[in-house]
Structure 1
Amino acid sequence: MLSRLRSGSVRNLEREFDCTVRLLDDSEYPCTIQRDAKGHYLIDLLCRHMNLLEKDYFGIRFVDPDKQRHWLDISKSIIKQMKSQPPYTMCFRVKFYPTDPSMLKEEITRYLVFLQIKRDLYHGRLLCKTSDAALLAAYILQAEIGDYDPGKHPEGYSSKFQFFPKHSEKLERKIAEIHKTELSGQSPDMAELNFLKKAQTLETYGVDPHPCKDVSGNAAFLAFTPSGFVVLQGNKRIHFIKWTEVSKMKFEGKTFNLYATQKEESKIILTYFAPTPEACKHLWKCGVENQAFYKSGLVPSRSCPSISHGSRLSSVPRTRRRAVHISIMEGLESLRDSAHSTPVRSSSHTDTFVAHSGKAPAAEGNERTSVIADESYSPASSVLPTPVSEPGPECALSPQEHSGGGGCGTEEEKEGEAGAAAEAEEAGRGSATSPAGVSEREQVNRFVLSVARLLLVTVGLLFALLILLIALTESDIDVAFLRDIRQTPEFEQFHYEYFCPLRRWMSCKVRYVLNLLIDT
């Protein structure tokens, strides 16, 4: 039976649309959603279906007709993001990879992350040496079929599993050997955890690559990981910048710029060009969201469970237990101030991930470095069969537009200051015939009154700005003025860097207080 997602109490079939979400185990979850539902309703519905509490690591991805991928914005209307006719098909995926998967509290969370990294390995996003690849595949075998049994597992049994985009018979034999001799006795949960621990040590752990070109026209892949920003060229990581070193990210048209400060206060600018403006905006948006997630210091959903326990994901075996701080002023700078320059220095991490032949790094001894990937890093693309579009013109507010209604407030402040000056002058005239003490008291009182007026005006302006911010972020008011502001990259950066973390924090505190009141 299809689940119903309702934002209102009255059912209206004309205001509903069908949606199918593909889960990480390749099963499909069909649902019917009201047209005014926002993204967070759908993510909550899926998390209740899977009994998933640590939900902040996950997101919903969809693809538009131009094959451009997008993450569903949970704070916005679903149907307004699609801009095409239903039914819709989306994918539930890991959006933010945990820095240390072993620290996840829920077994179901670890299992879902395991499924995601297993997909990354298969699609060529997780690169590694042959020895590491064989060990990872052996862990998958142990988790899927348990201990090696000669009666059940004849010669070549590992070839029935597709672990990588392509691999040799020699690698299959290595996988089977590790499975037979090294992993016996490990439970499925333990094998999955060991798989995650090994994957976590690889330099491409958590990589969701964005194809780009550098200033010389060479192909490259940009990605954001739990540790920081990486650039892959060929099979090498030519740049690695920690999140603590990233100053800001900007985009204009197809141009993406990342500003960083590394050792000895050395400032660098990395410039790359995306295939389309939409792809560049998606790249920038992913960068801002990852930076906010990993730099904010928030612990996603661990101390703040928001979903009651329900039935488990039907396809999960029941035996399994389960953002550098970018300043607001920098974020509001005009994008035209971005400098387009060649990368001036690269990270020291330039060791080869994989190569068909060659010598291993010194730290690896004489280990062979034959690989599971092609000469160039070329991950397979995930393309959904029912793509949908999200057209959205890019625009940036001028400095005058950013000021909003500041003119009115300035007038009021000047009027208050003029009144205070007149009162001070009158007090000065009265002081000739009044005792000095009385005159001073009157001047102090009038000064306090003028300061109070100024504070009142300031509070009024702040309140008006707060109302405007709520209208921009939380309402579905479809006014051209608000829509233009919402679509500016500066506002989106503010939304993901500051507003969303603050909202999550306040929501946690409110739920905590409510739980205390209920318990008492």
Structure 2
Amino acid sequence: MPHQWALLFSALLLQRDAKGQYLFDLICHNLNLLEKDYFGIRYVDPDKQRHWLEFTKSIAKQMKSQPPFTMCLRVKFYPPDPASLKEEITRYLVFLQLKRDLYHGRLLCKTSDAAMLAAYILQAEIGDYDPGKHPEGYSSKFQFFPKHSEKLERRIADIHKTELIGQKPEISERNFLQKAQMLETYGVDPHPCKDVSGNPAFLAFTPFGFVVLQGNKRVHFLKWNEVTKLKFEGKTFHIYANQKEDKKIILTYFAPTPEACKHLWKCGVENQAFYKLEKSSQVRTVSSSNLFFKGSRFRYSGRVAKEVMEQSAKIKREPPEIHSAHSTPVRSVSHGESFIPRSRSQVADTSEGMAVISDEAYSPSDSVLPTPVAEHSMELAVSRQINGAPCSIEEEKESEASTSMHGERGDFGADSRSAQEGAGGDSALSEVEQVNKFVLSVLRLLLVTIGLLFVLLLLLIILTESDLDIAFLTDIRQTPEFEQFHYEYFCPLRRWFACKLRWVGGLLINK
């Protein structure tokens, strides 16, 4: 596994100006993945802000940190119907992403649904229940959620023992996808914000529209065809929509930082284009601001959902053979216990969970990877063998257990902090960058001020010196205030300038 990833990145390093599309195509080629439009590459900058790698731009220019760069393959656009994806490899990768969402407290659900989802995972991981291999309490060894009760563990085991006997792994995974798709939080990648009253809220984009989650409920849901505009200014994010009976609404939220707000806006622009448009030729460049202000400009690049599904239907190759090594975290087991997961499972380190599966609570803030990335973050890594090629979608803890790209395990996506190794001066550099930004903003302000003064001076000269017979100019000239200004201030100032100019001219002639 390590040497194959080394070859992949060696090829990338040969092209220093390589664009994001180059890296993405390399990964998809190694995974033998054709339905790749649902996926993207995510990275975290030194300020712990997440980004999607833009495929049309140079990789090096998008990175604020120093190499080596750590990036993670993720589901970027959740399929509206994941179980109906054409190829099993695509369904498997989406399954791993949703399993990760469940573990990180993003795909929350009622306890009954949680038990069923976990049982599907268990069946896919270890196969049929076998009393000789699976002792009492075997389901408690797996970490399906950040935190759950013994009662839920027993329910998971009961379903696995009685209802799923004989299901092959791929069938269990498909059933998992069908169940997950029906949940209200399917496809939710929460962006923490605050509403106009200062109350915490989570904004997210799903295959079906824009949602706002507060407390334990969904407070807003706008279908994609109802959303007319997404705009941001600094930390402020606006959503414009037209609902039934021509009811126009504007929702306003505040992100933690301007960078987080811009990331939120770009995610919204891409999701709306992907799910709403009929053809990629309809995609237009979007501006974040008004007509008279430059703002940020962004354009989604790629196919839209309808085109992706049409293209998938044309795939006629033999399905690639999948030899999977699943990555459900396994809790620590003492040496005296004999339970060992089968080869379809892989032991991974786990962290103490914070979120709770319950009938009421929805709290994406308890996720170990909110936006921006929290201090104790977890990233998506790869541990899978497809036709002899490794891929990376398993959880790793940010601790001594995590490994960098060039580490012993050779995983493509490890902990986000490994991207910053060898960049110990990042904090100092960021301070310098902040000073530079401040200086540039002051210079821009001065230039604008000087420009305005120049325009005013030009208008003043036109008023006082020109003979233009224009009605509004004549009216201004005839006012007492202007006549006083003209004779008491402007004329003496003009004579002073003329005197100085003659003096300078005399000096130049004498020389």
Taking structure 2 as the reference length, what is the TM-score of the superposition?
0.59
SS of 1:128's partner is coil
Match of 2:178 in 1: 197
Distance 1:277 1:375, change over 3 A: closer
Identity of aligned residues (%): 70
Deviation of 1:141 after TM superposition, in Å, equals 0.4
Q: Out of 378, 385, 388, which is 2:366 matched to?
A: 378
Deviation of 1:102 after TM superposition, in Å, equals 2.0
Match of 2:55 in 1: 74
**Letter in structure 2 aligned against 1:119:** R
Match of 1:235 in 2: 216
Write the deviation string for residues 373-399 of structure 1: whole angstroms up to 9, x where unpaired.
57675322146123469999899xxxx
Which segments of 5 or more consecutive residues in structure 2 lack a partner in the other structure? 279-303, 327-342, 345-354, 370-377, 380-415, 421-425, 442-511
Match of 2:34 in 1: 53
SS of 1:162's partner is coil
Distance 1:183 1:4, change over 3 A: closer
Asked if 1 retains the 8 angstrom alpha-carbon contact of 2:105 and 2:363, the reply is no
SS of 2:184's partner is coil
Match of 1:217 in 2: 198
Q: Give me the CA root mean square deviation.
A: 3.4
Match of 1:295 in 2: 276
- How far apart, in 2, do the equivalents of 1:57 and 1:190 lie? 21
Match of 2:254 in 1: 273
Match of 1:256 in 2: 237
Deviation of 1:262 after TM superposition, in Å, equals 1.0
**Letter in structure 2 aligned against 1:385:** R
**Letter in structure 1 aligned against 2:50:** R
**Letter in structure 2 aligned against 1:316:** S
Distance 1:5 1:228, change over 3 A: farther
Aligned pair 1:150/2:131, yes or no?
yes
- How far apart, in 1, do the equivalents of 2:70 and 2:115 lie? 34
Write the deviation string for residues 100-152 of structure 1: whole angstroms up to 9, x where unpaired.
01221011000000000000000000110000000000000011111111111
Taking structure 1 as the reference length, what is the TM-score of the superposition?
0.58
Q: Out of 122, 125, 146, which is 1:165 matched to?
A: 146
Aligned residues: 328
Deviation of 1:235 after TM superposition, in Å, equals 1.8
Matches within 5 A, 1:29-40: 32=13, 34-40=15-21
- How far apart, in 1, do the equivalents of 2:130 and 2:194 lie? 49
Which segments of 5 or more consecutive residues in structure 1 lack a partner in the other structure? 7-17, 20-29, 321-354, 357-368, 396-520
Asked if 1 retains the 8 angstrom alpha-carbon contact of 2:217 and 2:362, the reply is no
- How far apart, in 1, do the equivalents of 2:363 and 2:95 lie? 27
**Letter in structure 2 aligned against 1:228:** G
- How far apart, in 2, do the equivalents of 1:307 and 1:47 lie? 15
Distance 1:374 1:96, change over 3 A: closer
Deviation of 1:236 after TM superposition, in Å, equals 1.0
Match of 1:104 in 2: 85
SS of 1:163's partner is coil
Distance 1:33 1:120, change over 3 A: farther
**Letter in structure 1 aligned against 2:210:** F
Asked if 2 retains the 8 angstrom alpha-carbon contact of 1:229 and 1:241, the reply is yes
SS of 2:225's partner is helix
Aligned pair 1:316/2:324, yes or no?
yes
Higher alpha-carbon deviation: 382-391 or 65-74 = 382-391
Distance 1:371 1:303, change over 3 A: closer
SS of 1:224's partner is strand
Asked if 2 retains the 8 angstrom alpha-carbon contact of 1:54 and 1:300, the reply is no
SS of 2:123's partner is helix
**Letter in structure 1 aligned against 2:368:** A
Deviation of 1:265 after TM superposition, in Å, equals 1.2
Asked if 1 retains the 8 angstrom alpha-carbon contact of 2:45 and 2:65, the reply is no
SS of 1:109's partner is helix
Match of 1:339 in 2: none
SS of 1:244's partner is coil
- How far apart, in 1, do the equivalents of 2:240 and 2:186 lie? 23
- How far apart, in 2, do the equivalents of 1:88 and 1:160 lie? 34
Distance 1:33 1:141, change over 3 A: farther
**Letter in structure 1 aligned against 2:201:** A
- How far apart, in 2, do the equivalents of 1:133 and 1:165 lie? 12
**Letter in structure 2 aligned against 1:128:** C
Deviation of 1:83 after TM superposition, in Å, equals 2.9
